[in-house]
Amino acid sequence: MSVLVVGTTALDSIKTPKSENPRLLGGSASHAAVAASFFAPTKLLGVVGGDFPKPYLRLYERHGICTRGLERVKGGQTFHWHGEYEVNMNNRRTLNTVLGVIENWSPKLPGDYETTPFVLLANISPQIQNSVLDQLSKPKFVIADTMDLWMNIALPELLRLLPRIDCLVLNDSEARQLVEDDNSVTALAKIHKLGPRYVIIKKGEHGSILSGPKGLFVAPAFPLGKVVDPTGAGDSFVGGLLGFLAAQKTGSIETNLRRAIVHGSVVASFCCEGFGLNRTTKTTKAEIRFRVRELEKAARF
Ligand code: AMP
C-alpha cells in the first residue's frame, strides 16, 4: 500500500567540524520520502520556490516518488535551514532558518492523494499537519513527528492534532518538554493520555522505545563507527518505518511495528554516513536487508 509524506522540502546548509556543505537537498519530507520509497510507493506533499534545483526534483523521481503534490512557487524562495554540529555530533545548533514559501503555504491534496492509507505528517507546523488530516479520507495509519519549536509556539494546535493520529514520534528531550517528565516510561504513559495509541521516543544513537497497547518494545540503533552528518536521521527513521509498515501484506500493525522500527533504524544509519541525502540515495535494498540481519544478531539474547 502507498505512503503519503508531508513536511519540509528544503535546502540545507550544514557545517561540521570537518567541512561545510551549502544548499544540499534536505527537509523532513525529503528524507522521510526517500526512506519510505525503499519499501512502498511514496507520494510527496510539499512546497518549493523557483530556486529549487532541477536535479533535486530528478532525485525524487529516481526514487519513484510521486511529486504531483509538490507545489512550485515561481519567484519564491525554498525553505532554507542552516545548521552547525559540534565535534560531538549529538550537539547541533540552528544558525538560521528562512521559511520562504512555507510561510504562507496552505497545502492542497491532489485528488488521488486523499485516499492514501499510510500517512506521515513529518516535521512541519501542526497547523499544516491538521490541515492535511482535514483533507484525508479515512487513512489506515497516521504517524506524526514534531519538535520543540512547535511546543513553544503552537502548543494548542499540536494538542489538537494528537487525538487525531495513531502514532506520535518525538525525541527524548521533546517528550520531557511535552509532558514535563524526565522519565521516558512515565512520559510515554502521559503522552498516550493526550491521544495517540502508539508513541515512539527516539534516543539517537541509543535507539528508541515504542509504547503501544501490547506494552513496550526497546529497539536498538545500528552501531556506526563513523558519523558524517546525522541531519535527517530522525526523518529517515520514521519514513523507513512507515514505508516498511505499508509494504506488509500480512499481520497486524501491532505485530509489524517492531520490525518496521528496526528497518527505520537501519535506513537512518545510512543517512548518517553521508551529507544530506548523499549516502541514503546510494543505498540498496540488499544493504538494508544485510544491516537488518546484523542488527537482529546483535540484539538477540
Ligand atoms: P532531523 O535531523 O531528523 O531532526 O531533521 C533535519 C531536517 O529537518 C533538515 O533537513 C531540515 O531542513 C529540517 N528542518 C529544520 N528545521 C525545521 C523546522 N522548523 N520545521 C521542519 N523541518 C525543519
Q: Is the pLDDT reported for residue 90 higher than 90?
A: no
List, for residues 106-145, the tens digit of each pLDDT value: 999 998 999 999 999 999 999 999 999 999 999 999 999 9
Is any atom of ligand 1 closer than 6 Å to the C-beta of 81? yes
Atom index in ligand 1 nearest the CA of residue 123 equals 21
Protein residue with its CA nearest to atom 14 in ligand 1: 27
Query: Would you list the DSSP string of the chain?
Result: --EEEES--EEEEEE-SS-EEEEEEE-HHHHHHHHHHTTS-EEEEEEEETTS-HHHHHHHHHTT-EEEEEEEETT----EEEEEE-SSTT-EEEEEEE-GGGTT------GGGTT-SEEEE-SS-HHHHHHHHHH----SEEEEE--HHHHHH-HHHHHHHGGG-SEEEEEHHHHHHHHT-S-HHHHHHHHHHTS-SEEEEE-GGG-EEEEETTEEEEEPPPP-S--S--TTHHHHHHHHHHHHHHH--SS-HHHHHHHHHHHHHHHHHHHHTSSTTTTGGG--HHHHHHHHHHHHHHH--
Q: Is the pLDDT reported for residue 254 higher than 90?
A: no
CATH 3.10.20.30 fits 3-299, yes or no: no
Domain residues of the chain, as ranges? 3-299
Is any atom of ligand 1 closer than 6 Å to the C-beta of 171? no
The phi and psi torsions of 173 (rounded to 5 degrees) equal: -70, -35
Protein residue with its CA nearest to atom 20 in ligand 1: 124
Q: d(Cα 253, Cα 239) in Å, to the nearest integer?
A: 16
Is any atom of ligand 1 closer than 6 Å to the C-beta of 9? no
Other CB atoms within 10 Å distance of the CB of residue 123: 23
List, for residues 221-230, the tens digit of each pLDDT value: 999 999 999 9
Protein residue with its CA nearest to atom 18 in ligand 1: 124
Is any atom of ligand 1 closer than 6 Å to the C-beta of 28? yes
Query: Is residue 96 exposed (0-12), middle (13-18) or buried (19+ Cβ within 10 Å)?
Result: exposed
Mean pLDDT of the chain: 97
List, for residues 23-79, the tens digit of each pLDDT value: 999 999 999 999 999 999 999 999 999 999 999 999 999 999 999 999 999 999 999
Q: Is the pLDDT reported for residue 168 higher than 90?
A: yes
Is any atom of ligand 1 closer than 6 Å to the C-beta of 145? no
The pLDDT of residue 3 is: 98
Distance 232 CA to ligand 1 centre (A): 7
Is any atom of ligand 1 closer than 6 Å to the C-beta of 26? yes
Cell numbers 535546502 correspond to 11
Q: Is the pLDDT reported for residue 220 higher than 90?
A: yes
The pLDDT of residue 177 is: 97
**Shortest CA distance to 202 belongs to which of 176, 174, 171?**
171
Q: Is the pLDDT reported for residue 82 higher than 90?
A: yes
Query: Would you list the DSSP string of 66-97?
Result: EEEEEEEETT----EEEEEE-SSTT-EEEEEE
Distance 214 CA to ligand 1 centre (A): 31
Q: Which of 9, 30, 81 to mutate to test the pocket of ligand 1 (most atoms within 8 A of CB)?
A: 81
Is any atom of ligand 1 closer than 6 Å to the C-beta of 21? no
Q: d(Cα 293, Cα 238) in Å, to the nearest integer?
A: 19
The pLDDT of residue 111 is: 87
Mean pLDDT, residues 244-259: 95
Distance 132 CA to ligand 1 centre (A): 19
Distance 100 CA to ligand 1 centre (A): 14
Angle value at C-alpha 60, between 120 and 270, nearest 5 degrees: 75
